Amino acid sequence: MRNPFVESIRLVVRVAETGGFRVALIGGFALPFYGVQRATGDVDFLVEASGSAALHDALVKAGADCLHRGLDSANYAAGRSKLTGIDFIYARRARALAMLERAPTKPLRGARLAVPVLDREALIGLKLQAIANAPARRTQDRADIEALLATGRETLDLAGLRDYCRLFGKEERMSSKTGSVRRRSAEPRRRPTPLVGGRVPDQRRVRDQKPARDLDEFLALLANLEAVFGPLGKPARINRGTIFLL
């Protein structure tokens, strides 16, 4: 039986190669390549905006249901297809296009497929955007940022990260330890450690830091989780109220 996650990735990559536009994995399926694993229900991509129509046509033809399609994003459910849910953020602005330009290609060995994946800096930038748009999910997004900082702090492009932080007003207000915004209360205020350039906790205590050479081990993890707990919960959908600054 074909894995719906793999088939979704294969379809998006194939359509992009045929159409001559760029795509790259983001979200939960990109994190394992940097030593961070967490359960996720959908496959997320950053996509060059020029490819939106080709991807829409291919997914609808495959039997997927379009839940939302706008200038900056789109969401698709499995519908009658053999895919899983797929979410797109469309790259239109300079920062997002630069993310796609420098995205490295990683092997998905089990599927004999090469998959572009955003680098750590870009993933952190998108996490900051997610925090700005969905404060209710900030705990998970902050934990992901913390883990990405911990696993790659020796090689991170700090100037690029500071640019993302300034864009979302987080450079001085977020703590590198917890990613929390400075609290507004009567308690004495502590000077927060900057998110970029500060010390980060040892994530090996809370995360599996074995880097993934590809997604095979992560896909096996998801299969085991679904076997025990049932279908994984779906994240909040991108909608017309979402703010895109990247």
The pLDDT assigned to 37 comes to 76
Residue 193 in this model has a pLDDT that exceeds 50: no
Q: What is the CATH number of the domain that holds 38?
A: 3.30.460.40
* Confidence tier at 176 by pLDDT (50, 70, 90): very low
Supply φ then ψ for residue 6, to 5 degrees: -65, -45
Q: What pTM was computed for the model? A: 0.76
**Percent of the chain clearing pLDDT 70 (strictly above):** 68
Q: Supply the pLDDT for residue 231.
A: 53
In a domain, 241, yes or no: no
Q: What is the token pair recorded at 157?
A: 């492009």
- What band does 234 get if pLDDT is binned at 50, 70 and 90? low
Q: Is residue 235 domain-resident?
A: no
Residue 74 counted as domain residue = yes
Q: What is the pLDDT of residue 204?
A: 46
- Within a domain: residue 98? yes
In a domain, 217, yes or no: yes
Angle formed at CA 141 by CA 239 and CA 82, multiple of 5 degrees: 55
What is the extent of the structural domain holding 121? 4-229
Q: What pLDDT does 1 receive?
A: 65
pLDDT for 101-129, tens place per residue? 999 999 887 778 889 999 999 999 999 88
- Model confidence at 175: pLDDT above 50: no
Number of domains in the chain: 1
Task: Give pLDDT tens digits for 135-153.
Answer: 777 788 888 888 888 877 7
Residue 184 has pLDDT above 50, yes or no: no
Q: Is 225 part of any domain?
A: yes
Query: Contact 226/202 with Cβ under 8 angstroms?
Result: no
Q: What is the pLDDT of residues 151-168, one digit of tens each?
A: 777 788 888 888 888 888
% of the chain surpassing 90 pLDDT: 38
243 falls within a domain: no
Question: Taking each helix axis from N to C terminus, what angle separates 94-101 and 158-167, rounded to the nearest 10 degrees?
Answer: 150
Does residue 236 sit within a domain? no
